[in-house]
Amino acid sequence: MKSNVLKIGLLAVFLILFASAVYYYLPRPNTNTRVTVMGESQTQVPPDNAVVSFSVVTQHTQAVTAQQENARKIDAVIKALRDAAGDPNLEIKTSNYSLSPEQDYSSDRMPKIIGYEAKNTLSVTTPKMDHVGALIDAATNAGANSVEGISFILREDSPTRGDSLGTATRQAMAKAEGIAQSLGGRVVRIVETLEGGVAPVEGSIPGLTASANTNASSAYRTPIQASSINMYSRVVLVAEIEIKR
């Protein structure tokens, strides 16, 4: 008899525990929702680098002579740029090179090749804004006969880019928290982050033609003033909000 009572008691305890477990683990309606918010940041910032493009153009009746003369002058320009910058590791890259025939179209017959033109374009990047004018003077004095243009940029690893994205992110987060509070809930997590920033608009100066006979020792120097850059960043957040029922 006692054995049966014990069994019934154990069964009752088991049923109570089972019912409690079922209630605890029973799926409940999901009270969470998701919202998509966007934050923006727009400001004018100073550039951290300048990019100047120089070209050396040479012409001759013989292609190989035009090419060799161009190579000689471009070597002199590179050396002059490094000396003017005081930096043997100055960032200099070839951005374009061409060797093309010059043709005479004055006759009714087939165009006649009367010579060849070689053109070598260099892009120079410097973080020293106050050296840009000196670089132009040095390059033209050494043989560069065209300044294609100047751009003022921000490097990809610039802290300014991170600051702009941080401002946009904080604005988006404030919007998400405001929505959560209005619904009587809270932001529990950020599900997704999308950076929709637009690259900064580079400040630039159009190209100009320079004389290869520029006298670098002249009292006049090429004045260059760096322009500000319009920095725009956009961040989209997908936030999960827990709504209290």
Mean pLDDT of the chain: 82
The model's pTM:
0.66
> What are 93's strand-pairing partners?
123
Q: Could you state, in order of their start, the residue ranges of all structural domains in the chain?
A: 48-155
Give backbone dihedrals phi and psi of 82, rounded to 5 degrees, phi first.
-65, -40
In this prediction, residue 2 carries a pLDDT of: 52
In this prediction, residue 222 carries a pLDDT of: 81
Identify the CATH homologous superfamily for domain 48-155.
Protein of unknown function (DUF541), domain 2 (3.30.70.2970)
Tell me the average pLDDT across 14-41.
67
Q: How far apart are the C-alpha atoms of 227 and 129, rounded to whole Å?
A: 10
In this prediction, residue 5 carries a pLDDT of: 52
**What pLDDT digit, counting tens, does each position of 175-222 carry?**
999 999 998 889 988 888 888 655 555 555 554 444 434 444 455 678
**What pLDDT digit, counting tens, does each position of 119-140 carry?**
999 999 999 988 899 999 999 9
Burial 179-200 (b: 16+ CB within 10 A, else e): bbeeeebebeeeeeeeeebeeb
Write out the DSSP string of the chain: -HHHHHHHHHHHHHHHHHHHHHHHHS-----EEEEEEEEEEEEEE--SEEEEEEEEEEEESSHHHHHHHHHHHHHHHHHHHHHHHT-TT-EEEEEEEEEEEEEE--SSSS-EEEEEEEEEEEEEEES-GGGHHHHHHHHHHHT--EEEEEEEE--TT-HHHHHHHHHHHHHHHHHHHHHHHHTTEEEEEEEEEEE-PEEEEPEEEEEE---TT--TTSS------PPPEEEEEEEEEEEEEEEP-
**What pLDDT digit, counting tens, does each position of 48-98 carry?**
899 999 999 999 999 999 999 999 999 999 999 999 999 989 999 999 999
